[in-house]
C-alpha cells in the first residue's frame, strides 16, 4: 500500500497564519457588540426567520452531508430518510417564527 505525504511550503504556512489572524481579528472586533450567548447564538433575535432558514439549509447542503446521506442510504435504506425527517426537518418546522 502506498503512503503519500503532504509537503507544506512557506506559502501554506503564511496562508494558515493569515487566516487564523483574520478569524481572531473578527472575534476581537465583534466582541464589543456581543454581550452574551443570546446575542451570539440568536443575534439578539434581530434576524428574520427566512435568513435563519437559509443558514440551516446551507449547513445541511454541504458536500459532506449529501455524500454521507447517500452512503448511509445505500447502507441502511429508508432508515436514513427517517433520521433526516426526525432529526432535521421536525425542529425546523416547530421552531417559533418571528
89 pLDDT higher than 60 = yes
Output the pLDDT for position 3.
76
Provide mean pLDDT across the span 24-45.
Answer: 80
How far is residue 91 from each of residues 30, 45, 84, 95, measured CA to CA in Å? 29, 18, 11, 6
Provide mean pLDDT across the span 70-85.
Answer: 78
Sign, Cα dihedral of 53, 54, 55, 57: positive
pLDDT band at 98 (very low <50, low <70, confident <90, very high): very low
Provide mean pLDDT across the span 75-82.
Answer: 79
Average pLDDT, the chain: 79
Amino acid at each position: 500500500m502506498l503512503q503519500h505525504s503532504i509537503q507544506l511550503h512557506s506559502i501554506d504556512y503564511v496562508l494558515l497564519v493569515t487566516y487564523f489572524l483574520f478569524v481572531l481579528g473578527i472575534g476581537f472586533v465583534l466582541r464589543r457588540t456581543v454581550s452574551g450567548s443570546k446575542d451570539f447564538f440568536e443575534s439578539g433575535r434581530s434576524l428574520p426567520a427566512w435568513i435563519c432558514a437559509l443558514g440551516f439549509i446551507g449547513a445541511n447542503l454541504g458536500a459532506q452531508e449529501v455524500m454521507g446521506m447517500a452512503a448511509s442510504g445505500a447502507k441502511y435504506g429508508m432508515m436514513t430518510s427517517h433520521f433526516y425527517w426526525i432529526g432535521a426537518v421536525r425542529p425546523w418546522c416547530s421552531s417559533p417564527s418571528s
